[in-house]
Amino acid sequence: MIVAQRKPFPEILSTIRDYEKILTVGCGTCVAVCLAGGAQEVSTLNWELSAARSLRDQPLELGEATVTRQCDHEFLAELDSLVQGYQALLSMACGVGIQFLAERYPDKPVLPAVDTSGMSGNRDVGWYEERCRGCGRCVLASTAGVCPITMCAKGLLNGPCGGTSGQYCETNPDQPCAWHTIYHRLAGQGRLKDILEYQPPQEWRNQVPRTIVQPGYGHELENEGAETA
């Protein structure tokens, strides 16, 4: 899931300094699960903002709304009649949701209240580990299910950097070296030869917005940049 964290409160307060009527918009999916931007977090943030502005004698009128997913126009539609009454929107969704909100209401300033970290797994309650950076060309087949882009500090695709210290990364003595893990997991599976499979440099197609069209939904390809899954 996508994981995010609420921005530091002074930063949010500064972001909204020019506005007196703001709608805080939460998202009911990923950011709600990681307790960064669901309905509860929207209410808490609004309460804190009200108190802070009140102490400064700066008027502030806040509204709140949480949609099922901000990254889906279908769910944003329910905000259409609401947003016109506000000067600005404060979004607690991930970066995708914030951008969809800004796209739908281009005449409104849309301000982020969270920092989006990435795609992570749930290691324990409230403990998220990043595992994928959405590179667009997954190499997990030859790396024993260990992502070298996310788990290696240098994002190396073809073996370790040479600085491995024991089984740990040279940049962090608490972080296992990704390539140490890859080597030993492949060895345990009797397929060490896979480590010799050369991985060409990533094209980093994530430097331009990628579009994926799932054929299963029956859509026609709408533009040349779209990939079929």
Site string for ligand SF4, 86-125 (x = CB under 6 A): ----------------------------------------
Span interacting with ligand SF4, options 59-67, 70-78, 104-112, 173-181, rule CB under 6 A: 173-181
Q: How far is the CB of 168 from ligand SF4 (least distance, A)?
A: 7
Q: Is there a contact between 140 and 156 (Cβ–Cβ < 8 Å)?
A: no
Q: Which residue, chain included where needed, has tokens 């970290």?
A: 117
By CB under 6 A, tell whether 179 contacts ligand SF4: yes
The answer to whether the CB of 61 falls within 8 A of the CB of 127 is no
Binding-residue total with ligand SF4 (CB under 6 A)? 24
Separation CA 21–CA 64 (nearest Å): 11
Amino acid at site 217: Y
Contact status, residue 66 vs residue 27, Cβ threshold 8 Å: yes
d(CA 194, CA 197): 5
3-state secondary structure of 216: helix
Of 153, 192, 195, 213, the one binding ligand SF4 (CB under 6 A) is 153
- Residue 170 near ligand SF4 by CB under 6 A: yes
Other beta carbons less than 10 A from residue 166's beta carbon: 9
| Nearer to ligand SF4 among residue 24 and residue 142 (C-beta) | 142
Q: Are 38 and 80 in contact (CB under 8 A)?
A: no
Of 86 and 128, the one with the shorter C-beta distance to ligand SF4 is: 128
With the C-alpha atoms ordered 167, 170, 174, 180, is the resulting torsion angle positive or negative? negative
Residue 161 CB, shortest distance to ligand SF4, in Å, is 3
Please, what is the minimum distance in Å from the beta carbon of residue 178 to ligand SF4?
4
178 forms part of the interface with ligand SF4 (CB under 6 A): yes
What would the x/- binding string for ligand SF4 be over residues 123 to 152, using CB under 6 A? ---------xxxx--xxx------x-xx-x
Taking the CA of residue 65 as centre, how many other CA atoms within 13 Å lie in the half-sphere pointing to its CB?
A: 19
Tell me the C-alpha to C-alpha distance, in Å, between residue 180 and each of 53, 107, 150, 206, 208.
Answer: 52, 51, 14, 27, 32
| Candidate segments 42-50, 63-71, 87-95, 176-184, binder of ligand SF4 by CB under 6 A | 176-184
Between 105 and 183, CB nearer to ligand SF4: 183
* 8 Å CB contact between 32 and 42: no
Residues that bind ligand SF4 (CB under 6 A): 132-135, 138-140, 147, 149-150, 152-154, 156, 160-161, 163-164, 169-171, 177-179
